[in-house]
C-alpha cells in the first residue's frame, strides 16, 4: 500500500516494546513499512529503556515515518503495563505484538497472517515461524507450564530419566516446526491477536510484571473458545537473545531471572486447580 494510504483503512495495530535495542527497532519498523498490504497499519514503538542514547536513536530513526507513534517512558513500566498503556488507542481487527529484534525480510508476511486469520475466524492468536540470526529455528512454542519443569529445565534435574522426556515435551522439542498446528501457547515475540479477544480480556494480565503474560494470553484465548495456532507458512527473523535464558545459578545473579520465577509462581498458584483450557476446548467441540 502506498504511504499516504497507510493511515486509511486501518485493519491492524502493531506494538513494539523496546529495551536497549534502538537500532534494531528502527530496522524492524522500516521492514514493517516495506510490507505489501492492502490495508493500513498503525505502529506504536514504546521505549522502556530509560536511556537517553537509546531514545535518541529511536527519535532520529523513526522521525516522520508514516503511522508510527513513539512513546518514551520515563520509568520502566514492565512488559505488561507498557503494552496496556496504549490499549485504548488500538485500531483495527488485529493486534500484532512484536519483539524489538524482529525483522521482516519477506514482503508479504503481515498480509498472509491477516489473510489466514480472516479465513479462520476460530483462531484467536497466530504466530509465524521465527528464524534466529544464527540460522536456527526458534522454539517459540511451549506446553502450558508446570513450575517443577521450569526449574528442572535450568538444573541438572533435566537429565534425570524420570524428568528428561517431560522437560523435552515442555520445550516442544518433538514439534514439527514446518507444520501448521494448534499449540498450547506461543511466545509473544511475534504474534497477531484478534482485537475483540484483546478487548474482552482487558489486554495483558497485570498479575505479572515481565513474564507469563503471553502464557496467560493464550490460556484466555482457549478459554474463550478461540484457537492458538503456529503458522510456519511465513517467517520472521530475530536475534535469538532471550531475557529468560540461563541456568539455576543465574537466579541468584539476575533480577530478570528472579522475576521470571516470581511470575511463574503467580501463574501456577492462579491455575493450580484449573483444567487445561485447550483440552477443555476440544472436549466442548466434540459435544457440539
Domains of the chain: 3-287 (3.90.550.10)
In residues, how long is the chain? Answer: 288
Task: For the sheet with 190-194, list strands across it.
Answer: 68-72, 40-47, 10-18, 94-98, 190-194, 123-132, 227-238, 181-182
Choose among 21, 90, 29, 89: nearest CA to 57: 21
Choose among 144, 123, 165, 139: nearest CA to 214: 144
In the structure, what pLDDT confidence band is assigned to residue 245 with cuts at 50, 70 and 90? very low
Average pLDDT over residues 172-201: 94
- Mean pLDDT score of the chain: 87
pLDDT for res 6: 54
pLDDT for res 212: 86
The C-alpha cell at 8 is 486509511
- Rounded to two decimals, the pTM is 0.87
Average pLDDT over residues 153-176: 64
The C-alpha cell at 201 is 480480556
Contact between 231 and 126 under an 8 Å Cβ cutoff? The reply is yes
Share of the chain above pLDDT 70, in %: 82
pLDDT for res 95: 98
Is the pLDDT assigned to residue 288 strictly greater than 70?
yes
The DSSP line for 7-75 is TSSEEEEEEEEESS-HHHHHHHHHHHHTS--SSEEEEEEEE----HHHHHHHHHHHTT-TTEEEEE-SS
Is the pLDDT assigned to residue 39 strictly greater than 90?
yes
In the structure, what pLDDT confidence band is assigned to residue 8 with cuts at 50, 70 and 90? confident
Amino acid at each position: 500500500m502506498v504511504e499516504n494510504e497507510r493511515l486509511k483503512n486501518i485493519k491492524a495495530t502493531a506494538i513494539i516494546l523496546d529495551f536497549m535495542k534502538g537500532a534494531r527497532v528502527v530496522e524492524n519498523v522500516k521492514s514493517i513499512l516495506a510490507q505489501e498490504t492492502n490495508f493500513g497499519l498503525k505502529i506504536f514503538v514504546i521505549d522502556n529503556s530509560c536511556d537517553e542514547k537509546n531514545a535518541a536513536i529511536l527519535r532520529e530513526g523513526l522521525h516522520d515515518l508514516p503511522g508510527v507513534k513513539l512513546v518514551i517512558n520515563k520509568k520502566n513500566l514492565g512488559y505488561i503495563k507498557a503494552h496496556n498503556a496504549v490499549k485504548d488507542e488500538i485500531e483495527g481487527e488485529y493486534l500484532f505484538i512484536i519483539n524489538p529484534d524482529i525483522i521482516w525480510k519477506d514482503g508479504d508476511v503481515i498480509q498472509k497472517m491477516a489473510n489466514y486469520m480472516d479465513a479462520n475466524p476460530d483462531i484467536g492468536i497466530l504466530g509465524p515461524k521465527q528464524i534466529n540470526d544464527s540460522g536456527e529455528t526458534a522454539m517459540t512454542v511451549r506446553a502450558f507450564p508446570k513450575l517443577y519443569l521450569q526449574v528442572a529445565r535450568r538444573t541438572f534435574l533435566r537429565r534425570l530419566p524420570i524428568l528428561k522426556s517431560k522437560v523435552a515435551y515442555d520445550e516442544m522439542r518433538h514439534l514439527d516446526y514446518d507444520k501448521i498446528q494448534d499449540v498450547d501457547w506461543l511466545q509473544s515475540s511475534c504474534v497477531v491477536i484478534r482485537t475483540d479477544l484483546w478487548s474482552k480480556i482487558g489486554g495483558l494480565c497485570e498479575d505479572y510484571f515481565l513474564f507469563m503474560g503471553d502464557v496467560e494470553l493464550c490460556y484466555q484465548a482457549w478459554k474463550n473458545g478461540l484457537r492458538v495456532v503456529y503458522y510456519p507458512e511465513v517467517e520472521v527473523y530475530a536475534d535469538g537473545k532471550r531475557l529468560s535464558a540461563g541456568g539455576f545459578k543465574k537466579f541468584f545473579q539476575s533480577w530478570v531471572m528472579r522475576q521470571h520465577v516470581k511470575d511463574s509462581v503467580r501463574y501456577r498458584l492462579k491455575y493450580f486447580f484449573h483444567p487445561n483450557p485447550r483440552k477443555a476446548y476440544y472436549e466442548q467441540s466434540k459435544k457440539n
